[in-house]
Structure 1
């Protein structure tokens, strides 16, 4: 299985730093994220402290999908824009699985990996997990232009105060949450992104695609 480690990104540093097109199956990077539908209905209390894991689908489902991503990782961009919308349609909208998003800044980019995660957490704190997942997809869709102005404008698009999200990103207000998530991933054996677990089993793939995730979910549901 190919592992997407930081060393791999250093070797491909030019492509990562430049936000080269091709993060989404070789096509031009889109600024419009896929439509997700209503995937998360729980609420998150507003707080400047540690935040809970963003959860979509049915929080009490028998099968849990846990995904570890870095917002600056081009492979995560492929996963989020091509695989996640299919998972959302087939399993989250019907409420068949519990889906958890976990921050895992490798970091691919020392600034973006942390600031983007903080921006997303600011949206979660202000508007809950549904807005979080929509905003997260927008970050990946705009991966080549991530920065304070983008964090703000995308927050406005999901109905959250863009200036406040920009400030949270640059101040790294939610580093406590992001760092704890990253450490929990390391404790679980995560070393690269994206990493996907279905229950306690890591999804193995030679390329980022929907089918390995779907097959792992179906196998877990049959147990």
Structure 2
């Protein structure tokens, strides 16, 4: 479980990004529409707050998510909704790039980023942003679109405001964090939980 330094990161992003139109005013941007797997009418909704530079998030996607997909998402029990909670500038840029992908490429792209962090996020022999650009190119994003996505302050601001809303509404303070069940009856669980614990929390949410 990775705990962010909220003050340091949000201070580093600067008032220039956080100032401006409210998150609600960005709602018409299709890049901010819900990204999820599982049917819309599934009995249990699970929100996953993650950072693309978080090793614990990568561990969940590697070790637990395949079972979640097979045993809970595909049978129609769970709808897993992806929510950005970037821990640093690189994660913020990666989130902006991922949201600038066509919606159908979003989930495969973030999966590729999480499972290959050593190639782009933690590389010591190359510029991480250049390596991220290469990953985006492999997913079909031309370099001009990549550059536009990482420079888009309105998109960055909306992502950061979504992170702040998660802190305020669900008490999210670490990644990954999962919110099980509907608003008002939800339970937040942090850490790269194993499948048995995930299943237990889904069962509890289904009875709430």
Q: TM-score, normalised by structure 2?
A: 0.72
Deviations 1:84-105 (A, max 9, x none): 2221122222322121111112
The answer as to 2:111 corresponding to 1:137 is yes
Structure 2 matches for 1:23-102, cutoff 5 A? 51-102=32-83
Instruction: Give the structure 2 partner of residue 16 of structure 1.
Output: none
Cα separation, 2, equivalents of 1:141 and 1:162:
22
Deviations 1:55-108 (A, max 9, x none): 210112221011111111111111122222221122222322121111112x2x
Instruction: Give the structure 1 partner of residue 4 of structure 2.
Output: 6
Task: Pick which of 135-144 and 211-220 moved more.
Answer: 211-220
Aligned residues: 175
Instruction: Give the structure 2 partner of residue 202 of structure 1.
Output: 188
Gaps of 5+ in 2: 9-27, 122-127
Structure 1 runs, 4 residues or longer, greater than 6 Å off: none
- Pairwise CA RMSD: 2.6
Cα separation, 1, equivalents of 2:63 and 2:176:
13
Instruction: Give the structure 2 partner of residue 192 of structure 1.
Output: 174
Question: Is this contact kept in 2: 1:72–1:113, CA < 8 A?
Answer: yes
52 and 202 in structure 1: CA distance in 2 versus 1, 3 angstrom threshold: same
Cα separation, 1, equivalents of 2:37 and 2:72:
10
Q: CA deviation at 1:173?
A: 5.7
Question: Is this contact kept in 1: 2:37–2:81, CA < 8 A?
Answer: yes
User: The residue matched to 1:6 in structure 2 has which SS?
Assistant: coil
Question: Is this contact kept in 1: 2:90–2:129, CA < 8 A?
Answer: no
User: The residue matched to 2:32 in structure 1 has which SS?
Assistant: coil
Instruction: Give the structure 2 partner of residue 217 of structure 1.
Output: 202
Cα separation, 1, equivalents of 2:30 and 2:174:
27
Higher helix share: 2
Cα separation, 1, equivalents of 2:188 and 2:207:
17
Question: Is this contact kept in 2: 1:114–1:172, CA < 8 A?
Answer: no
Question: Is this contact kept in 2: 1:195–1:202, CA < 8 A?
Answer: yes
99 and 49 in structure 1: CA distance in 2 versus 1, 3 angstrom threshold: closer
Deviations 1:148-168 (A, max 9, x none): 333333334334435413441
